[in-house]
Structure 1
């Protein structure tokens, strides 16, 4: 029996799925950016790679979070701007307002604990240079709480061919 050559995914379905799920993050942030803010009890834990390409974090924040950072959008955030490929938000660190800006491709985790909704993404490629001082960041936040009825995880692993 001849060895079969596995088919080549020239459509890049993994990347298409990642991009589509990042669209969910963008849509949630668009709702949060409306004048009414985030509806109901919803709030977001957004984890991202601080050195990913296109991320702008102030040097003092980058020094504290050299690899990854989680921010919370709930009651105290300002100037949330949502674009097609990135978003920015002002948060406070030690009472000092700082702006954080990042592309959706830098996001590795999006979690809304109010409804136990979780999206996890592959880690992005890291930037060759440190992020610029152009933006500044925000809030120390603990990881989402664990429990028996954990978050609903939407993972691409279940669709990967074994």
Structure 2
């Protein structure tokens, strides 16, 4: 049994569940109003599926924009697949929730950021270390962004981001 409650992983699971519910909600009728999403993900994640030319161009991370045109959105418990347009070339992608680093909806100044930080091995017993080699730090951010297209490196805040870090509440 763990010596403490793993709030970081619990928060990450809840935040990924929120992303799944949002994507599942837009599946039948598309995005309502001005909503659109910037999703930055780790292209090196073993379960990410994307065209070779995209992984060559973005060897570490990539930000996609879900806004005006997308097709074949399929939302599962582990991730989602979607076809997006890259310079008039429709490309299918599969993005596992575990690979997501940020999720931003600039229309309502909402954002989530997933981070991990290393933990001293002395702080964990053998069972904890086997299950959780890194301890996540969950940040819930409120961002103001400018628009970007699917090939941009990511959303750029137009003013300083207000970030609430869970580290404030740790002992």
* TM-score, shorter chain, exceeding 0.5: yes
- In structure 1, runs of 5+ residues without a counterpart are 1-6, 126-137
Query: Is the contact between residue 117 and residue 153 of structure 1 (CA under 8 Å) also seen in structure 2?
Result: no
Query: How far apart are 1:157 and its partner, in Å?
Result: 3.0
| Greater helix fraction, Structure 1 or Structure 2 | 2
The 1:154–1:104 alpha-carbon spacing in structure 2 relative to 1, beyond 3 Å, is farther
Scaled by the length of structure 2, what TM-score is found?
A: 0.73
RCO greater where, 1 or 2, for CA within 8 Å and sep 6 or more?
Answer: 1
Scaled by the length of structure 1, what TM-score is found?
A: 0.77
Query: How far apart are 1:142 and its partner, in Å?
Result: 5.3
Query: Is the contact between residue 78 and residue 90 of structure 1 (CA under 8 Å) also seen in structure 2?
Result: yes
The 1:155–1:44 alpha-carbon spacing in structure 2 relative to 1, beyond 3 Å, is farther
Q: Deviations over 1:103-148 (max 9, x none)?
A: 101000000000110100025x9xxxxxxxxxxxx93135324234
- In structure 2, runs of 5+ residues without a counterpart are 117-132, 134-148
After superposition, the CA RMSD in angstroms is 2.2
Q: Is residue 2:138 matched to residue 1:143?
A: no
Aligned pair count? 139
User: For 1:111 and 1:55, how far apart are their aligned partners in 2?
Assistant: 19
Q: Find the counterpart in structure 1 of residue 31 from structure 2.
A: 38
